Amino acid sequence: MINRLITSLGGAVREWLAELGLAFRTLLAMLVSGLGLWRRPRLITTQIHFIGNYSLVIILVSGLFVGFVLAYQGYYTLNRYGSESALGLLVALALARELGPVITALLFAGRAGTSLTAEIGLMKAGEQLAAMEMMAVNPLQRVLAPRFIAGLIAMPILAALFTAMGIFGGYLVGVQLIGVDEGSFWSQMQGGVDLWEDIGNGIIKSVVFGFAATFIAIYQGYQADPTPEGVSRATTRTVVLSSLMVLWLDFVLTALMFK
C-alpha cells in the first residue's frame, strides 16, 4: 500500500518535472526564435490589436464597477474614523498596487488567454502548424512569439486602463453620489500615491502577470491534444493555471515589494 503510494507519487512528480522542463525549453526556443521578429514588427502590432480589442471592453467595464464598489466599501470603513476625505487615496492605492494588475490578469486569462489557447490548439488540430513546419516556417517564431510579446505589451496597458477606470468609478460614487469633498479626494490621492513605490510596483506586477498568463495560454494551445476534447481541456487548463499562477505570483511579489 505504502509502496504503491510512493510509486504513484514519484511518477506524478517525475511527470510534473518533465512537463516543467518541456515548458521551459519551449519558452527558451520561442524567445530565441522571437529575436528575429524585430524585422517584422507588424506581426506583433497585429496581435496587440487583436488581444487588446478582445479584452478592452470587459477590462473597462470591470474597472468601473470595481471602482464603484471600492468607493462604497471604503467610505463605509473610513467614515467610522472620520477619514472619508482619504477615500481617493484608498481607491487609488488599492487599484494601482493590487486590484488593477490582479483583476486585469484574471480577466485577461479568461478572455484573451482562452482565445489564444483555442486558436493555437485548433491550428494544431487542423494540421496548420504542421503545414507551416513543412513550409520551413517555424511556428514558434511565426505564431507563438508574436502572441507572447503582444501579451507582454498589452497587459500593462490594460492594467493601467483598468486602474484609471476604477479611479473614475470611485470618483463617481464617492464624490458625485455620496458627496465626499472633491478637492480632498484628488489632493489626498495626489499627495499619497508614490510614482515608483505604488505605480511602478503595479506596472512590474502587471508585466509579470502578463508574462505568466500569456505563456500559459499559448503553451497550453501548443501542447493541446489535436482533438476537440483536447482543445477544450487545454482551454480550461489555461484559465485554472493562469488564475492560480497570477494569485501565487501576486503573493510572492507583494511579499518582496512590502516594506
| List of residues contacting other proteins (CB under 8 A) | 29, 126-128, 130-131, 133-138, 142
- Give the nearest distance from C-beta 178 to other proteins in angstroms: 49
Q: Measured from the CB atom, is 97 or 142 closer to other proteins?
A: 142
- Give the nearest distance from C-beta 129 to other proteins in angstroms: 9
Q: Measured from the CB atom, is 119 or 181 closer to other proteins?
A: 119
- Give the nearest distance from C-beta 195 to other proteins in angstroms: 41
Q: Give the separation between CA 92 and CA 100, rounded to whole angstroms.
A: 10
Residue carrying the nine cell digits 470603513: 77
- Give the nearest distance from C-beta 219 to other proteins in angstroms: 16
**The three cell numbers locating residue 136:** 520551413
DSSP for 59-102 reads HHHHHHHHHHHHHHHHHHHHHHTT-GGGHHHHHHHIIIIIIHHH
Tell me which DSSP letter residue 255 carries.
Answer: H
CA 95 to chain centre: 15
Q: Give the separation between CA 212 and CA 173, rounded to whole angstroms.
A: 34
Number of residues assigned to the chain: 259
Residue in 204, 168, 205, 212 with CA at minimum distance from that of residue 71: 168
**The three cell numbers locating residue 209:** 502577470
Q: Measured from the CB atom, is 148 or 209 closer to other proteins?
A: 148
Q: Measured from the CB atom, is 18 or 137 closer to other proteins?
A: 137
- Give the nearest distance from C-beta 82 to other proteins in angstroms: 59
Q: Measured from the CB atom, is 131 or 177 closer to other proteins?
A: 131
